[in-house]
Chains A and B, each alone.
Chain A
Amino acid sequence: GENVEQHPSTLSVQEGDSAVIKCTYSDSASNYFPWYKQELGKRPQLIIDIRSNVGEKKDQRIAVTLNKTAKHFSLHITETQPEDSAVYFCAALSNAGGTSYGKLTFGQGTILTVHP
């Protein structure tokens, strides 16, 4: 089955700096890669996603890049703000058929702390 590794597990930055979180996946059939943000005690919320036919996607201060050959994808947050502090999860969805529909495999999460 799919395995997703996420690094780093914790990340501390100063307000205004950039933050980068990286994930690798194992299943070459994976073709959808969402990123979720989870604040303490709250539900995960999608912040950006990318499909395998796209190499990069940007939404204001957030961008995601995908390298299918190397099987890794990254989240980039620019001009970080204290409210960006949360746990970020990457995930991969493998659609190799059979029983894989909708099955997201999540990384272990990155605790991002943005210091004012």
Chain B
Amino acid sequence: DSGVTQTPKHLITATGQRVTLRCSPRSGDLSVYWYQQSLDQGLQFLIQYYNGEERAKGNILERFSAQQFPDLHSELNLSSLELGDSALYFCASSVALVYNEQFFGPGTRLTVL
């Protein structure tokens, strides 16, 4: 157990819908990262927050947004869902901004039908 928690574990929804994925980092970690893992794209970095502020952005779609709250938990919002958004979404956390081990959560498996 890495200490990073993610809810829900599984999510099944329909195209066009909106979902929210939640992540709680390890105690003491200020950085939260979101990744998307699909069979054809591998592990793709989406976005990083550090102590409530967005600090790095990957190829995150405009339909996707995230935020980190004062208690440091983070939410990833996915809207206007498409079939291609079906993937495993991982949250990771680390103590500092860079150069630290990122601890991954168990992931949320999203299926869009």
26 CB < 8 A contacts A-B: A32-B98, A34-B101, A42-B106, A43-B2, A43-B104, A43-B105, A44-B43, A44-B90, A46-B101, A46-B103, A49-B101, A89-B42, A95-B98, A95-B99, A99-B56, A101-B56, A101-B97, A102-B31, A102-B56, A102-B94, A102-B98, A103-B45, A103-B57, A103-B58, A104-B45, A106-B42
Distance (whole angstroms) from the CB of B47 to the closest CB of chain A: 9
Report B80 CB to chain A, min CB distance, Å: 25
Q: A46: nearest residue on chain B (CB-CB)?
A: B101
Q: Which of A34, A44, A49, A106 has the most CB of B within 10 A?
A: A44
Contact (A104, B102) CB under 8 Å given A43-B2, A44-B43: yes
Chain A residues lying within 8 Å of B103, measured Cβ to Cβ, are 46
> What is the predominant secondary structure among interface residues of chain B facing chain A?
strand
A99-B55, A101-B55, A103-B48 given. 4 additional CB < 8 A pairs? A99-B57, A102-B98, A103-B57, A105-B45
Q: Min CB distance, A84 to chain B, in Å?
A: 19
Chain A nearest CB from B3 CB (Å) reads 11
CB <8 Å contact, A93 and B99: yes
Which residues of chain B come closer than 8 Å to A108, judged between CB atoms? 42
B58 x A102 contact (CB < 8 A) = no
User: Are the CB atoms of B42 and A102 closer together than 8 Å?
Assistant: no
> Which residues does chain A contribute within 8 Å of B97, judged by CB atoms?
101-102
A101 contacts B48, CB within 8 Å?
yes
